Amino acid sequence: MKMDLSPRLVTLAPAAPLPEPESPDRAARDELQTLTKRLAYDPASWGEEDRAAMTRRFDRLAESWATRDHPDYRYPLADALARGEIAPRGLCIEVGSGTGIQTPTLLDHFDAVICIEVAEQMLRHTPEGLGIALLADAAQLPFRDRCAAAIVCVNAPLFAPEYARVLASDGAVVVVSTRGAETPIFISPADTLAALQRLGDPTFGATTARAGPGTWTVARRAGNGARVAEPPPDPKDGQ
Ligand SMILES: C[S@@+](CC[C@H](N)C(=O)[O-])C[C@H]1O[C@@H](n2cnc3c(N)ncnc32)[C@H](O)[C@@H]1O
């Protein structure tokens, strides 16, 4: 038999699997975005029904959640810590840690990381030894006032009064949306800052940037490295 030696284009499989879209379901994305914005400005409206629905939704997704891990998925947080000039020390509270995809980045940066999850199945699918896992509701953090150097939310809701209560005077709230305004649990940089100023502490300022496929916002109280006094532009503008 004659071998075919003609030049061909050979395509190998991608070296890293492409990230799975977080929510191909637009209705689900819109529903979560509406809820997230409502919670940012009206955290007291978070009730038992909301909590139960959120828990059900993410308990169901827990088994396959780790398949979202991809360098693009981790990049916006890494950039937020670096360009957001987050001090590499102290206690970090990771809100809505899921299965811990972002936790190694935080463990490399802070002295200690406590992972808060409302969905038990997410914690069950978190590799052992990744931070200190706590089944709790971020709307009522089980911590004393001003103990955290950072509160980090990657695609997780913002409860402004509670985060302001727990955040150290010189601490930072870090909000990351891994797919920018396409992220289902999304709070725009402008809404992040406005909610923190209105419901947390009027001295909050923030820095924001796009990073790879995502966006991030780092908010601090005045005199602690906050560089933007006015709400930053909404990333939806100009897209
Ligand atoms: C979109 S997932 C993001 C998971 C993880 N941060 C990541 O980057 O892969 C949002 C997570 O926030 C959790 N969550 C939502 N509301 C919460 C609350 N009130 N308290 C604690 N966790 C919450 C959900 O259970 C879910 O696991």
CA of 155 to the centre of ligand 1 (A): 7
* pLDDT one-digit tens code per residue, 112-136: 999 999 999 999 999 999 989 999 9
Query: Mean pLDDT across the stretch 182-192?
Result: 96
- Within 10 A of 71 (CB to CB), how many other CB atoms are there? 10
Distance of alpha carbon 114 from alpha carbon 103, whole angstroms: 9
CA angle 236, 72, 18 (to 5 degrees): 105
Closest C-alpha residue for ligand 1 atom 14:
96
List the structure tokens of 162: 């509670």
Q: Residues, the chain, total?
A: 239
Summarize the confidence of residues 137-152 as an average pLDDT. Answer: 98
Higher pLDDT, 111 or 23: 111
Helix, strand or coil for residue 100?
coil
Rounded to the nearest whole angstrom, what is the distance from the C-alpha of residue 163 to the centroid of ligand 1? 15
pLDDT digits (tens, 9 = 90+) for 17-43: 455 455 568 999 999 999 999 999 999
Nearest to 188 by CA among 151, 236, 139: 236
Cα 12 to ligand 1 centre (Å): 35
Rounded to 10 deg, the angle between the 26-41 and 189-199 helix axes is 30
* Helix (H/G/I), strand (E/B), else coil: 208: strand
